[in-house]
């Protein structure tokens, strides 16, 4: 009898191992990518309510999102969810928040009532305060950041909520090759203060990086495959000899080199925005559904691998895709209203391979122009996985049956 139980135990072990391998093979479809977030902009008059947005993000297994304000409806709707919010102090509020008392009131009314039920992990103080066109608010940045951080300390929230600011690539004087990265002289003083603050508070330096803009401006000089993360010869930095197979990583490393030139080599860098428009005006070269799908799909694949840049190969970094929805009220060229992975009615603009839980039981209707569909292949893989599980279940039961018969 003991021999029979030994055989059963061995069979159990083998079958459990096979079950584990089958799940491991297909588990990639459902894992949360901890380093991937998405920007949830709300500049539209036809967007779904926040509770619907929460359902969508949850079904896509996205656990980080960034909003551009502290909208109470969003903060309330996202309570008791697994999604971490990165909220924003609007640019026009910075002058008033230089005052520590105003900053304390802001934290007390905009953050504290919702935390910790709503997982607020970061506060972006402004957004792209320095651009090529306007730098009038940059002087308010550090006083406002220090006041807000001080308010977090007073309310006991500084251990949980980081304070930083997203920067445009305009802060760089040079970005090519990456090893030549340096800040513009007119912002170097502010950047030194910012980097000191980030080091002291263990917060990341955020950059909004769009390889699309570089390609649009020089489509005959910059290879499309290089900006889309497609296979390509890449470029080699002549000084470091690092090879770059995509522009985004080169831009991130240019920022790291720029920080190092100011004496800061240990600060984490994250990408607070990156994306590709699916539609544009006549002069917006490359703004197509096909390119947008490929760019964002390849970003997703890289984030699944948790890889770093050539300069920091063993250090993965957070990336927030821009954006969740097409936003019809955004000003500017057509591209500005067409960065969304989804239309306002929650249908996909194109498929980048984010498998919605609901798609396991029903087939979603997508745009007829969508050319990338990882969901169909994922569903096929899932079906095969279920078939294998059924097969090995039968093998298991048959083995148990044969062992019991032999024991008698």
The catalytic site residues sit at 128, 273
Q: Do 238 and 285 meet the contact criterion of CB atoms below 8 Å apart?
A: no
Q: Which residues contact 41 (CB under 8 A, 6 or more apart)?
A: 67, 68, 322, 323, 324, 325, 327, 330
- Which stretches does DSSP call E strand in 119-209? 120-125, 162-164, 166-168, 172-174, 182-183, 205-208
- Angle 100-110/141-154 helices, nearest 10 degrees? 60
CA pair distance 251, 22, nearest whole angstrom: 39
Bridge partners of 88? 124
CA pair distance 18, 302, nearest whole angstrom: 28
CA pair distance 8, 406, nearest whole angstrom: 12
> Tokens 């934290």 correspond to what residue?
107
**Alpha carbon distance, N-terminus to C-terminus of the chain:** 9
Helices (H) and strands (E) in the chain, counts: 12, 13
Transcribe 306-373 into DSSP letters. Answer: T---SSSTT----EEES-SB--TT--SSGGGG---SB-TTS-BSS--S---GGGGTSPPP--TT----
CA pair distance 330, 338, nearest whole angstrom: 9
């Amino acid at each position: 009898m003991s021999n029979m139980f030994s055989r059963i135990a061995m069979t159990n072990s083998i079958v459990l191992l096979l079950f584990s391998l089958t799940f491991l093979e297909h588990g990639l479809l459902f894992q949360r990518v901890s380093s991937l977030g998405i920007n949830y902009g709300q500049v539209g008059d036809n967007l779904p309510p926040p509770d619907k947005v929460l359902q969508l993000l949850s079904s896509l297994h996205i656990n980080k999102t960034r909003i551009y304000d502290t909208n109470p409806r969003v903060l309330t709707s996202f309570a008791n969810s697994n999604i971490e919010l990165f909220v924003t102090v609007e640019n026009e509020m910075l002058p008033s928040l230089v005052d520590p008392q105003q900053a304390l009131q802001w934290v007390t009314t905009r953050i504290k009532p919702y935390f910790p039920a709503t997982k607020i992990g970061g506060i972006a103080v402004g957004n792209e305060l320095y651009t090529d066109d306007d730098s009038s608010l940059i002087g308010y940045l550090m006083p406002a950041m220090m006041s807000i951080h001080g308010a977090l300390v007073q309310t006991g929230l500084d251990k949980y909520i980081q304070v930083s600011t997203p920067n445009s690539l305009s802060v760089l004087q040079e970005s090519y090759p990456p090893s030549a990265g340096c800040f513009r002289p007119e912002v170097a003083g502010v950047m030194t203060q910012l980097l000191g603050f980030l080091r002291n508070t263990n917060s990341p330096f955020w950059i909004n990086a769009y390889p699309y803009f570089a390609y649009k401006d020089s489509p005959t000089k910059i290879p499309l495959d290089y900006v889309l993360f497609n296979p390509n010869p890449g470029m080699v930095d002549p000084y470091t000899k690092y090879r770059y197979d995509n522009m985004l990583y080169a831009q991130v490393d240019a920022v790291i080199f720029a920080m190092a030139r100011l004496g800061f080599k240990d600060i984490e860098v994250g990408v607070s925005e990156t994306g590709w428009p699916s539609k544009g005006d006549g002069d917006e070269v490359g703004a197509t559904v096909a390119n947008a799908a490929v760019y964002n799909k390849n970003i997703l694949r890289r984030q699944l691998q948790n890889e770093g840049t050539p300069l920091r190969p063993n250090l993965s970094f957070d990336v927030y895709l821009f954006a969740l929805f097409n936003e019809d009220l955004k000003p500017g060229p057509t591209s500005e209203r067409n960065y969304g992975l989804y239309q306002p009615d929650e249908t996909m603009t194109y498929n980048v391979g984010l498998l919605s839980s609901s798609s396991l039981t029903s087939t979603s209707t997508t745009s007829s122009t969508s050319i990338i569909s990882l969901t169909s292949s994922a569903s096929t893989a899932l079906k095969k996985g279920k078939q294998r599980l059924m097969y090995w279940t039968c093998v298991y039961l048959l083995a148990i049956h044969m062992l019991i018969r032999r024991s008698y």
